Amino acid sequence: MSTTHAEVPQAQAPVNPLRLTSTQQRLALRVAVIILGALIVLGGMAYNLTHGNTDDPLEDVITILRGEEDSEIGLARYIIVNNQRYPRVLLAGLVGVNLAVAGVMLQGVVRSPMGDPYILGVSAGAGLTSSYILTKYVYASPHTVSAAAFGGALAGTLLVYLIAWDGSGTTTTRLVLTGVALTTMLGIMTTSIIVMNVQGGGQIYFQRLVGGLYGKNIDDYYQLAPWTIGGLVAALVLARQANILALGDDVARGLGLHVERTRFLMAVAAAILAGSAVAVVGMIAFVGLIVPVFVRLVFGSDYRIMIPANTIFGAALVIWADALARLHVPGWLGEAGNEFISVGIVTGVIGGPLFLWMVRARRMQW
């Protein structure tokens, strides 16, 4: 975003990084990338459905998913595909949608590309409340856990906002520092709560600190899906207002926008999406950073386009991250425990360097 109207030489203006000269070219590129994204999602689903401890041919998987009998395919394959791989890949897609769209909305709220739920401590808020309910009230219904996570995410968002924002705005540095402090603080509290409430076998809860899809089933998918739909609808309804807000508070007010109300509702949408994802799979890092940064580069800053594009590429990222996470861990890395690594580790390994590059290349402000 330009900050000066003064005489900036035109060649230096950081405009239009892909150097598209016309709106037609821009449209053509966007359509092509959307189609590519859809293909990446489908390819990722096919890969995850066919690969695992034992690989299955795609025809077999299709037969199984259609519910057709085939005596050549063993019963075990039916169970693995139907009960493990299928729900897991659907859940991966939803989690990607949630975290990416939550990132877009939060970035609009704080007016910074660093508005990722993980970086800002929003995920940590959801992690704390959902872990408390999960470990303290073992028989709580899944939706209670999700609601608690939503509450934690919203509280985290408001906390960041209150601390880092003064009358006129904030800086990315202040936001990120606030997020670091909140994440650390809430993470320690989450760990303490797990330690205080779980006697033995706490690993399953500690995995939530990194975020993973191991052992997830169709119930987890149904726990998340309504929140995804609700959050997405909220985000899309708010897209027009978000576009106005992107012109700055003063211009937006002048155009007739309720600035504070819009910002709050966008934060609620982000909390619905991020909180519900954390409730089910734990804190997966940086999805809300990686995907929106890429989408903004190709699709521009119109929320009516950014939100759908983020659903596609969010799903693509987490599905493929899960494909990588399901690879066997090489022996030199570690012999003990789970032979699978976690999705959150994969996104962390991709997102961390991106984050550092953005800091280094001064891409922390639009």
The residue among 10 and 199 lying less far from another protein, judged by its C-beta, is 10
Per rule CB under 8 A, is residue 243 in the interface with another protein?
A: yes
Per rule CB under 8 A, is residue 187 in the interface with another protein?
A: no
CB of 33 to another protein, least distance (A): 14
Among 29, 65, 300, 358, binds another protein (CB under 8 A): 300
Among 32, 38, 237, 327, binds another protein (CB under 8 A): 237
Segment lying near another protein (by CB under 8 A), choices 98-106, 173-181, 245-253, 281-289: 245-253
CB atoms within 10 A of CB 128: 26
Q: Give the tokens for residue 67.
A: 């519910």
Per rule CB under 8 A, is residue 265 in the interface with another protein?
A: no
The structure tokens 């800091």 sit at 359
Identify the DSSP state of 164. Answer: H
**Using CB under 8 A as the criterion, what x/- string covers residues 307-326 for binding another protein?**
--------------------
Per rule CB under 8 A, is residue 181 in the interface with another protein?
A: no
**Using CB under 8 A as the criterion, what x/- string covers residues 86-125 for binding another protein?**
----------------------------------------
Among 62, 246, 329, 359, binds another protein (CB under 8 A): 246
Segment lying near another protein (by CB under 8 A), choices 6-14, 32-40, 94-102, 325-333: 6-14
Q: Which residues pair with 328 in a beta bridge?
A: 340
Q: Which residues pair with 166 in a beta bridge?
A: 169
Residue (of 365, 347, 366) closest to 174 by Cα position: 365
The residue among 31 and 255 lying less far from another protein, judged by its C-beta, is 255
Half-sphere exposure of 223 (CA within 13 A, CB side): 26
Q: Count the residues of the shown chain that bind another protein, applying the rule CB under 8 A.
A: 33
d(CA 208, CA 131): 8
Q: Give the tokens for residue 307.
A: 């939100």
Among 70, 219, 302, 339, binds another protein (CB under 8 A): 302
d(CA 57, CA 64): 11
**Using CB under 8 A as the criterion, what x/- string covers residues 11-30 for binding another protein?**
--xxxx-----xx-------
CB of 25 to another protein, least distance (A): 11
244 close to 119: Cβ distance less than 8 angstroms:
no
Each as own residue / partner, the long-range contacts of residues 337-345 (CB below 8 Å, 24 or more positions apart, any chain) are 337/203, 338/214, 340/214, 342/207, 342/210, 342/211, 342/212, 342/214, 343/92, 343/95, 343/211, 343/212, 343/213, 343/281, 343/284, 343/318, 344/210, 344/211, 344/212, 344/282, 344/283, 344/284, 344/285, 345/210
Per rule CB under 8 A, is residue 168 in the interface with another protein?
A: no
**CA dist list (Å): 142 to 12, 97, 137, 203, 210:** 52, 20, 11, 19, 20
CB of 363 to another protein, least distance (A): 12
Residues at the site binding another protein, with contacts judged by CB under 8 A: 1-7, 10, 13-16, 22-23, 237, 240, 243-244, 246-248, 250-251, 253-258, 300-302, 366
